[in-house]
Amino acid sequence: MSQFIVETATPKGYQLKLQTGLFINNEFVAGSDTIDTVNPANGKVIASVQAADKKEVDAAVDAASKAFHGPWGKMTPSKRAELMLKLADLIDRDNEVLSQIESLDNGKGITFSRLFDVKQIAITLRYFAGYADKIHGKVIDIEGALCYTRHEPIGVCGAIIPWNFPLMMLGWKLGPALCTGNTVVVKTSEMTPLSALKVAELIVEAGFPPGVINIITGYGAIAGDALARHMKVSKIAFTGSTAVGRHIMKAASESNLKKVTLELGGKSPNIIFDDADLDLAVRWAHKGIFFNHGQCCCAGSRVYVQASIYDKFLEKFKEYTKQTKLGHPHDDDTFQGPQISKTQFDRIMTYIEKGKEEGATCYMGGNRWGNEGYYIEPTIFTDVKQDMTIVREEIFGPVVTVSKFEDVDDVVHMALDTDYGLAAAVFTKDTARAIDVSNRLQAGTVWVNCYNELDYNTPFGGFRQSGIGRENGEYALDNYLQVKTVKINVSRQP
């Protein structure tokens, strides 16, 4: 197991033993290639990890298939739950090391890794473990026969996850897949492979049979594509961009018509009425866009403020944003760290330039921060029009547009003027208005007087081109089960 261990330390001197092999059949093995993963705070390579091509994807799927038809399939649901609970406990035990790795590889503030990301994977596994022995079908009355349904696992499930919440996304995929009796092959993002590989060590320690969970790193176009096209993968759960989401559906349709769920991008509106608690609205709007450095699929990147409070809101929003700390991921008080990569950094800076070119006012920020790593100042644009690129396209960075509106119809019209539909928010003290506007918005989640509150037990997913299916909560289970109808003849004649 130690062959692929890389010893290193964080810039603050926290010693780490990183796992860099592909995790297949409870072993760490070589890939056909390697990928360098980078610390976004300084652009330096942390480690080189093994990368899978089709051959290793085949091996992982074979292992998952054997486990499904073997020990995992035969295990009682309560025993499966026990293993999931054990894994959650080990993740909590190792919160510090997992947090150090997550912040090193992804760039998020260490306090967020500790209190959010690592806690979320553990809590999600526990929540879904509770369902393992509560999955059952129905008895349906039909004439002359007994009919019952069985809710059966699908088989080998593929999961392709992004880099913005590597551990939380792993939890969102593993939880519902495992409690329903499936086995899994996860492909992590090439940008953030390290935390999931640490979890892989804990999977072995928890006592999962080989092949139940396989975690591979690899390039999207090679390993991701091979998984999406695999004839023995019965379901694929994808989180990432809308463009790659389309590709996943195509790969599924060109191969074995595997079931597909997609969590894609967004351009979510955040609507602030003039009767809202202004100070609270400012703080939530800040969290809405700047949490995780704007790298949130549900980010409130289009803020709409009622005309009578617009100027006051902007002033307070700027003041509040100035106070939050942009800094090193391993400092306890860092709110905003670097963007994930040079590519994303360049992409975001191009959007900022485009905003200026198209006539918007850069009211705050707009520049690189520091002289190493991929930091971008929190950026606020005003004087924006609905047809500007920065209002239409997902930027996936710390960039927000703040527009003015007059009345409810005006703002609902602007909020709906997008191809996406992942999330939205309304700030008002008027309950009737909150309900009316929430009903009229086209979004998988509508927050009222809060933003970016993600809970493992509530469904999350997109309307329109933000995705297909729901993750989390009881709703997630359906994606991982298939219904079998059994009819036992009692008195029917041929």
Contact set with Mg ion (CB under 5 A): 37-38, 105, 191
Main-chain dihedrals φ then ψ at residue 382, nearest 5 degrees:
-120, 180
* 349 interface partner picked from ligand NAP, Mg ion, none, CB below 5 to 8 A per type: none
d(CA 390, CA 237): 29
**Of 190, 263, 377, 471, catalytic:** 263
Report the residue count for the chain.
494
Sequence-distant (6+) residues with CB within 8 A of 337 are 40, 41, 103, 107, 108, 109, 293, 326, 327, 328, 329, 375
The region that residue 18 occupies, defined by phi over 0 for left and psi between -120 and 50 for alpha, beta otherwise, is beta
**Choices 58-66, 182-190, 278-286, 441-449; region in contact with ligand NAP by CB under 6 A:** 182-190
* CA-to-CA dists, residue 222 to 36, 53, 57, 166, 217, angstroms: 16, 6, 9, 19, 10
221 binds ligand NAP (CB under 6 A): yes
H runs (alpha helix) in 263-309: 278-290
**Interaction between residue 31 and ligand NAP (CB under 6 A):** no
Q: What residues from 46 to 65 belong to the interface with ligand NAP (CB under 6 A)?
A: none
* Residue 264 touching ligand NAP (CB under 6 A): yes
Q: How far is the CB of 336 from Mg ion (least distance, A)?
A: 17
Report whether 339 contacts 330 (CB < 8 A). no
Q: Where are the beta strands (DSSP E) in 284-408?
A: 302-306, 361-364, 379-382, 399-405
Nearest distance from residue 393's CB to ligand NAP, in Å?
9
Tell the smallest beta-carbon distance from residue 214 to ligand NAP (Å): 15
Instruction: Kindly state the helix (H) or strand (E) to which residue 482 belongs, with its residue range.
Output: strand 481-489
| 130 HSE (CA, 13 A, CB side) | 9
**Partner from ligand NAP, Mg ion, none contacting 37, C-beta within 5 to 8 A by type:** Mg ion
53 Ramachandran zone, left/alpha/beta (phi>0; psi -120 to 50): beta
The answer to whether residue 396 forms part of the interface with ligand NAP (CB under 6 A) is yes
Per CB under 6 A, contacts with ligand NAP among 145-164 are 160-164
With tokens 């005309």, the residue in question is 307
Is residue 191 part of the contact set for ligand NAP (CB under 6 A)? yes
CA–CA dist 39, 26 (Å, integer) = 27
Q: Rule CB under 6 A: say whether 190 interacts with ligand NAP.
A: yes
Single out the catalytic residue among 157, 297, 298, 362: 297
Q: With respect to ligand NAP, which residue has the nearer C-beta, 51 or 206? A: 51
Considering only residues 231 through 260, tell me which ones interact with ligand NAP, judged by CB under 6 A.
Answer: 239-241, 244, 247
297 flagged as catalytic: yes
Q: Which is nearer to ligand NAP, 64 or 226 (CB)?
A: 226
147 is catalytic: no
Taking CB within 5 to 8 Å according to partner kind, which of Mg ion, ligand NAP, none is near residue 452?
none
Q: Does 228 bind ligand NAP (CB under 6 A)?
A: yes
Q: Give the binding-site size for ligand NAP (rule: CB under 6 A).
A: 26
By a kind-dependent CB cut-off of 5 to 8 A, residue 297 interacts, out of ligand NAP, Mg ion, none, with: ligand NAP
Residue 471 binding partner per list Mg ion, ligand NAP, none, with a CB distance cut-off of 5 to 8 Å that depends on partner kind:
none
263 binds ligand NAP (CB under 6 A): yes
How far apart (Å, rounded) are the C-alpha atoms in residues 104 and 343? 18
Cβ 27 to Mg ion, closest distance in Å?
24
Nearer to Mg ion, 38 or 476 (CB): 38
The count of other CB atoms within 10 Å of the CB of residue 380 is 22
Give the CA count within 13 Å in the CB-facing half-sphere of 469: 24
CB of 339 to ligand NAP, least distance (A): 10
Q: Per rule CB under 6 A, is residue 392 in the interface with ligand NAP?
A: no
Label the pairing between strands 183-187 and 213-216: parallel
The single residue listed with the structure tokens 């644009």 is 381
Report the catalytic residues.
Answer: 263, 297
Task: Provide the binding-site residues for ligand NAP, judged by CB under 6 A.
Answer: 160-164, 187, 189-191, 219-221, 224-225, 228, 239-241, 244, 247, 263-265, 297, 394, 396
